[in-house]
Chain A
Amino acid sequence: MFTSCLTVGAWESLMSVVTAKAEPDPGQQTAGRARARFWDREAPLAYLFMIPGLLILLLFMGYPFFLGIYLSLTDKMVGFADFSFVGLENYQLLLDDPVFHRTVANTLIYSFVTVPFKLVLGLGLALVLNQTFRFSRFVRAGLLLPWIVPTAISSLAWLMLFDSVLSPVSWVLKDWGVIQSNINFLGDRWNAISAICVANVWRGLPFFAISILAGLQAVAPELHEAAALDGANAWQRFVAVTLPTIRNIILITTLFSIIFTFSDFQLIYVLTKGGPASSTHVFGTYAYQTMGFSALGQAAAIALSMLPFLAIFAAILLREIRKED
């Protein structure tokens, strides 16, 4: 969801908040203390304004977070009122659970292996789109589609492209004589993981492209001209002028992408449901499947196991964003 679909405008605006240097408001500084009193009176109003939103966040985000921690420490089953506190038992079970080990490995592979592809291809697309050409708006909008449409729906297209009987990819390769029989894309663990990664790169590439494009447009043309006058070729200019300007946007985009991919659900749910034989699960699908077996406490523990990873990614991201300020 989430994972996929920020709209471009929203994303660019966020980038603007991120990249805009916090310039101190001169009026505020000079007016100094006399004015501080006036601003102080805004505090009650500010808190009042935030109440409705914070209430929703507290009720449907804060509460479930702590309830989740509590549930993960119990043996609660769906449909049974009675349950007891079992301490860390659910987590201990995970330590010995081969499916969980594979789930962790899959999620990490899925989040990190796809990054270089999205990054390089996204950077390439951004550089191509950064030229002026006719219909550029139309082309941009079209190429962003993978990122805009619902992932559950585009994953259905991939489901068919990866079908063991009807896949047009298999048909073409057979027609060319590259393979003898259809590829079983989703029937084997590594095939399936590769297929999932391809679909993920497809979906995430435009997100990288549009973020980097926003950064490219901040590169001062004068710098390029000056470098060109000094005899730098295109590659040297790219490394010396362009890259330093977009470095942070690339870093921040990458971190966002890792976080979203790490917590993905729908793409894997639609393509493999974690199969074959529970070999392609990520945290989300494994927790969902476990909840389906009515083991609520255990499922909560699986979902919460994402937390340390997410916390690390978020901490690095926050540090990068603050560095920008």
Chain B
Amino acid sequence: MVGSNVLTQRLLKLWLPLLLYGVFLLFPFAWMLIVSLKPDQLLLDTRRNPFALTSVTLNNYRYLLTETEFPRWIWNTMVVTVGATLLSLACSILIGYALGRFQFRGGNTIGIAIFLLYLVPPTLLFIPLSQIVAGFKLYNTYWSLILVYPTFLIPFASWLLMGYFRTISKELEDAALVDGATRLRAMTQIVLPLAIPGVLSAAIFCFTLSWNEFLYALVLMGSGDMKTVPVGVVSDLIKADVYFWGALMAAGILGSVPVAAAYAFLVDNYVSGLTAGATKG
């Protein structure tokens, strides 16, 4: 009696709502997967049940990988993402360290200013920025995005790292200084290794955000074979009114994998570790 009551409770409070949320949140992905595996004649036959996969084909994936520029878009996105992530990390570690561990006049104000910069959206700046990038002769080059993406990566990553550096005890570093280590040595050999979880979160954050960015990529690097995945998929796989649905959905699946993987890689850290530390206050 009691046991079945607990089970009903559990079903009503946990599994049923989870199922409903799951259907709503995952339905578009399931749909993408179905369409990407469907042969064209099945897809375009509107009398059939659209969810039924009576036959499966990998043609859409083959088409995408061999007949379109998709592999090149992946490469472009990779170059830009890695470049922007490394550059942003380098800058953000320095800023985060300075704001989190040094006391100096204006430190607080700069911290708040950097936070406010995080709220400045690309939609506000993309028009003048396109002129500036053209002026620097960077239009449609990898450098355009590698240099521009840090404008939204640095503010957030610096804040994140500033918070992280603050949690690392000052005594450790002071002890190293007393023992005769230089400031740089204490930083790179004592503090930085301890901050690695924070740096990794910042890296994942920069990676996914760069991979997903759309507007700057469209305006600054959106022509010829220089497109990134999101821009290439949206602008080249949709020609006027012709939709290559199968290939589009295949691109959606393949284009989501890197970020989903990057994120899954650290999901344990995120939800357990950081939250525990995060919510002490």
> Which residues of the other chain, B, contact A67 by a CB distance below 8 angstroms?
128, 131-132
Contact residue among B13, B125, B131, B214 (Cβ-Cβ distance under 8 Å from A131)? B13
Contact between chains at B278 and A19 (CB < 8 Å): yes
Contact between chains at A53 and B95 (CB < 8 Å): yes
B209 touches A (CB below 8 Å) = yes
Considering only residues 101-127 of chain B, those with a C-beta below 8 Å from chain A are 102-105, 107, 110, 112, 114-117, 119-127
B75 touches A (CB below 8 Å) = no
Q: How far is the CA of A183 from the CA of B90 in the complex (A)?
A: 51
Considering only residues 224-281 of chain B, those with a C-beta below 8 Å from chain A are 229-231, 233-234, 243, 245, 248-249, 251-252, 255-256, 259-260, 263-264, 266-272, 274-281
Centre residue among B110, B123, B208, B230 by max chain A CB count within 10 A:
B123
Contact residue among B160, B219, B249 (Cβ-Cβ distance under 8 Å from A160)? B249
In the complex where A14-B159, A152-B231 touch, is A128 in contact with B21 (Cβ < 8 A)? yes
Contact between chains at B131 and A266 (CB < 8 Å): no
Contact residue among A25, A145, A206 (Cβ-Cβ distance under 8 Å from B29)? A145
Considering only residues 1-44 of chain A, those with a C-beta below 8 Å from chain B are 1-10, 12-17, 19-21, 25, 27-28, 39-40, 42-43
Contact between chains at A5 and B28 (CB < 8 Å): no
Centre residue among B183, B245, B249, B263 by max chain A CB count within 10 A:
B263
Q: Count chain A residues whose beta carbon lies closer than 8 angstroms to a beta carbon of B.
A: 112
> Which residues of the other chain, A, contact B278 by a CB distance below 8 angstroms?
12-13, 15-16, 19-20, 214
Contact between chains at A17 and B162 (CB < 8 Å): yes
A125 touches B (CB below 8 Å) = yes
Interface of A is mostly: helix
Considering only residues 298-320 of chain A, those with a C-beta below 8 Å from chain B are 299-300, 303-304, 306-307, 310, 313-314, 317-318
Centre residue among A47, A64, A139, A215 by max chain B CB count within 10 A:
A64
B150 touches A (CB below 8 Å) = yes
Q: How far is the CA of A2 from the CA of B45 in the complex (A)?
A: 38
In the complex where A10-B202, A13-B198, A19-B279 touch, is A61 in contact with B95 (Cβ < 8 A)? no
Chain B: interface residue count, which band? 35 or more
> Which residues of the other chain, A, contact B95 by a CB distance below 8 angstroms?
49-50, 53-54
Considering only residues 51-84 of chain A, those with a C-beta below 8 Å from chain B are 52-54, 56-57, 59-61, 63-65, 67-68, 71
> Which residues of the other chain, A, contact B17 by a CB distance below 8 angstroms?
124-125, 128
Q: How far is the CA of A46 from the CA of B276 in the complex (A)?
A: 30
Which of A92-100, A164-172, A221-229, A235-243 is the contact stretch? A164-172
Distance (whole angstroms) from the CB of A257 to the closest CB of chain B:
12
- Closest B residue by C-beta to A71: B128
Contact between chains at B214 and A166 (CB < 8 Å): no
- A→B interface (CB under 8 Å): 1-10, 12-17, 19-21, 25, 27-28, 39-40, 42-43, 45-47, 49-50, 52-54, 56-57, 59-61, 63-65, 67-68, 71, 121, 124-125, 128, 131, 133, 137, 139-146, 148-154, 156-158, 160-161, 163, 165-166, 168, 171, 175, 202, 205-206, 213-215, 217-218, 259-260, 262-266, 269-270, 283-284, 287-288, 291, 296, 299-300, 303-304, 306-307, 310, 313-314, 317-318
